[in-house]
Amino acid sequence: MEKRFTIAVWSLLFLAGSAAAQTVYDAAKFIDKDLNGTARFVSMGGAMSALGGDISTMNTNPAGIGIYRSNDLQTTFGLSAFNSKNKTLDGTYKMDDVKGDFDQIGFVYSSKIGNATALRYVNFGFNYRRSKSFFRKQKFSGGLGDFTQTLQMAQQADGIKYDAWDNAFNNDEIGWLSAIGYYGGVIDPVGENEEYIGMYDQGLGSLDVEEHGHLDEYSFNISFNVNDRVYLGLTMGAYDLNYRKYTTYIEDYPGTQLEGYDLSTWNRIVGTGVDFKLGAIFRPFEDSPFRFGLAVHTPTFFSLDYKTSARLTSTVLDQSDGNLYDYDVYTADQLPSRGEMVRPFHFQTPWAFNVSLASTIGNQFAVDAEYEYKDYSFMKFKDVDGYDAVFDFENSTRKMTKAVHGIKVGMEFKPIPEFGIRAGYNYRTAIFEDNAYKDLPYYSIQTDTDYANTQDRHTFAFGIGYRGSMFYADLAYKLDTYNSNMYPFVVKDGHTIYPSARSVTKVTNTRNQAMLTLGVRF
């Protein structure tokens, strides 16, 4: 006998103000930005905050635009090869893709005030850049040991009264992960104490994760040159966020009459943000090219919509009659918003600080070194009215992140005035604590349980450039690499966090990118 069970949810939109959605793992993606911009900027590892004179510096130290003494118009595009190597105890999986990039376009208008006053130049600039690409593919497959995702479903369900399931998806006290597991027959109540158990252990798990989208940044700059000794700048940044994630998680149980389930989740986060950056560059000695820079970035204030839907199909053995039953559970198939639950929220990134040193040697050599600091534990979720009380749980999980330190070094050598050779290195420490995990509150609408703890990030770059009387062209290559530990789910037992190392995927992510900048100065 076969039974088909379908859940159609009509009124979930009314729960948008109270059902939790996003986690610190979602938020960290929007704070961490790629090394991107002009080919010259990238080939020096992004280390130009004290040197200035490049349009991309308005995103790190806005005072760098004050170095300009002529107008500038430029654009950058390139090609990226993404590679993900996923190593589990049961095998190694490689995923590759190649994508074209439109990385940057901008201009600087330089206005000379004169030599009779302290204020020599007032410059204006605009720059668009793709500050983050979310493209990533990851995979896990193998034995799960004693822990399966059904245990996480059951833990989220514990304490729910049995009669509350009649209207589970309209109840903001019930999480979607437990509800979809209950209606899909993979968790069951046990005893009379409102407790639940997962159906099986010793399962085989398979997880496929695809992420797409981008964070685009539009920058508007004004900067000042005072006596060719002090440079000041202000940049206002406007952001356009479009993030998409699709996961498919499958569990099978060998020896149990082909029982198992397939859980697919579609997530999307879209919205806009704004921030401000203040910067200064000082040349303390009149006869020396040495200079140092300081910059501070305000938090980025995002206004976002979280959209999600999920589907679980399962084949389950009914212990009472010995028959197999098929379940097909939709969380939001017929909602007005294209079948998705929509949850608006506000998000605030932490402050960021930058200190840089630079110098030139004659007309042939330039070097820049800088340090950046950003404490991820100061990120903050808020509701649409600006209050964070409803996000107490989400904000409490910020302790799983930590301060991130960044070091950049870059150099440029010109054997002849028209030709430059560049190299750079960019390093950032890990975002998450070693024992961090994706903790979902009991009322969460998230059904994707996977998470990845990224480790230190390294970027190596080099490039060449040509400068004519007006036209210039720059080529850059960068290798961006970092490792992460990915888990398909988490099970908590008191203060112990599972699963064990059995289900961890060791991921090596690399991105090879070639970039070309074309521009004119006049």
| Pure H helices in 299-402 | 392-396
| Domain total in the chain | 1
What does the pLDDT read at residue 11? 34
Residue 3 lies in a domain: no
Instruction: Identify the residue with better confidence: 397 or 108.
Output: 108
The domain that holds 83 is classified in CATH as: 2.40.160.60
**9 near 331, Cβ under 8 Å?**
yes
Mean pLDDT calculated for residue range 366-385: 92
Measured distance CA(398)–CA(393) in Å, rounded: 9
Place 109 in a pLDDT band, splitting at 50, 70 and 90. very high
pTM for the model stands at 0.88
Q: Which domain holds residue 271?
A: 12-521
Residue 4 lies in a domain: no
What does the pLDDT read at residue 140? 83
Residue 45 lies in a domain: yes
Residue 1 lies in a domain: no
- Tens-digit pLDDT profile for residues 188-209: 888 766 778 877 667 788 899 9
Place 235 in a pLDDT band, splitting at 50, 70 and 90. very high
Please say if the pLDDT value at position 58 is more than 60.
yes
Please say if the pLDDT value at position 427 is more than 80.
yes
Compute the mean pLDDT over every residue in the chain, rounded to the nearest whole number.
87
- Tens-digit pLDDT profile for residues 137-163: 888 888 777 788 888 998 888 888 877
Residue 396 lies in a domain: yes
Largest Cα–Cα separation, the chain: 96
Mean pLDDT calculated for residue range 369-376: 96
Please say if the pLDDT value at position 406 is more than 70.
yes
Residue 357 lies in a domain: yes
Please say if the pLDDT value at position 276 is more than 60.
yes
Place 91 in a pLDDT band, splitting at 50, 70 and 90. confident
Measured distance CA(444)–CA(99) in Å, rounded: 34
Residue 6 lies in a domain: no
Measured distance CA(439)–CA(23) in Å, rounded: 8
Any idea how long the chain is? 522
What does the pLDDT read at residue 498? 60
**64 near 54, Cβ under 8 Å?**
yes
Strand segments, DSSP code E, in 253-349 are 260-282, 291-297, 301-317, 324-330, 341-348
Distance of CA 384 to the CA centre of its chain: 22
Residue 380 lies in a domain: yes
Instruction: Identify the residue with better confidence: 331 or 442.
Output: 442
**Lowest mean pLDDT segment, chosen from 83-87, 165-169, 482-486:** 165-169
> Is 391 strand, coil or helix?
helix
Please say if the pLDDT value at position 312 is more than 60.
yes
